[in-house]
Amino acid sequence: MTGSSADLHIHTSYSDGLYPPAETVRMAKDVNLKAMAITDHDTVAGLKEGKLAGRKLGIEVISGVELSCELDGNEIHMLGYFAPGNETELEERLEWYQAKREERVFEIIDRLNQAGIILNIAEVRRFSTGKSIGRLHVAKALMAQGTARSVHEVFSRFLGPDGVAYVPKAKLSIQEAVEFIHEHQGVGVLAHPGMYRIENAAERTLEYLDGIEVWYPEHSPSFEDHLYALALKNRLMPTGGSDYHGVGRNEIGCVRIPYSIVTRLLEVAVGV
Ligand SMILES: [Zn+2]
Ligand SMILES: [Zn+2]
């Protein structure tokens, strides 16, 4: 499928992606996508730049976000896709959430300092090109100062549940996330149901969802079949995307869905 397909799950440097929005949009255009969604973690601050680039290059950039939520103590991600035009209001509403993330980083730094590891907020900020700041930026700072050699080591020794500087995330419930998305003319889609520690994430959250991310690089074909049937049976929209971050793993456009799904998604978002 070329020229009439979409990748609805893409990150930029405004969250934990490697490339700025304009660069990311250009790459999507280069692999001949008709539409793409920017779905940064807990921020829509990259949309403006992305949409501008999209208009110049002739590729449709859908407003999206990936919200971190919690289900029974496990992290679950909800994708929101929005009707165009309300990015500014959306961003304002998401800022309280970013403030919470920053608070968490300060707390992590406090705990690291207490454990004898000297790190300050400026060192962490150096690794954040966008607006949001989180644990990955702390990890990069620790690696840069030679305290740890890999992200894995950082999480097992410091930031993970068994680490000395573990601070649980302040998270939304699935219900709160979907309410937030609906309040802003959006549709709520459960991201990558196959990627959680919790089993049957889709089955357990069906009542709140507008859609399920069926097509995803790490989903097996049989799991995708299962999710697709589940979506149809419950009148939910099936979506898909690469979860592109720009590093190592999935390439942009490696998952493509028909453009007709995008049309439907936006119709539902504006209440057609
Ligand atoms: Zn995710
Ligand atoms: Zn993602």
- pLDDT tens-digit profile, the chain (272 residues): 456 899 999 999 998 899 999 999 999 999 999 999 999 998 899 999 999 999 999 999 999 999 989 888 788 999 999 998 878 888 888 887 777 777 889 999 999 999 999 999 999 999 887 666 888 899 999 999 999 999 899 999 999 989 999 987 767 889 989 999 999 999 999 999 999 988 899 999 999 999 999 999 999 999 999 999 999 999 999 999 999 999 767 899 999 999 999 999 999 988 86
Second CATH level (architecture) for the domain 5-91+171-269: Alpha-Beta Barrel (3.20)
Q: How far is ligand 2, taken at its centre, from the CA of residue 153, in Å? A: 22
Question: Could you tell me the residue ranges of all domains in the chain?
Answer: 5-91+171-269, 96-159
Q: How far is ligand 2, taken at its centre, from the CA of residue 111, in Å? A: 28
Q: How far is ligand 1, taken at its centre, from the CA of residue 16, in Å? A: 11
pTM reported for the whole predicted model: 0.78
The CATH topology of domain 96-159 is DNA polymerase; domain 1 (1.10.150)
Distance CA 64, CA 69 (A): 16
Do domains 5-91+171-269 and 96-159 share one topology? The answer is no
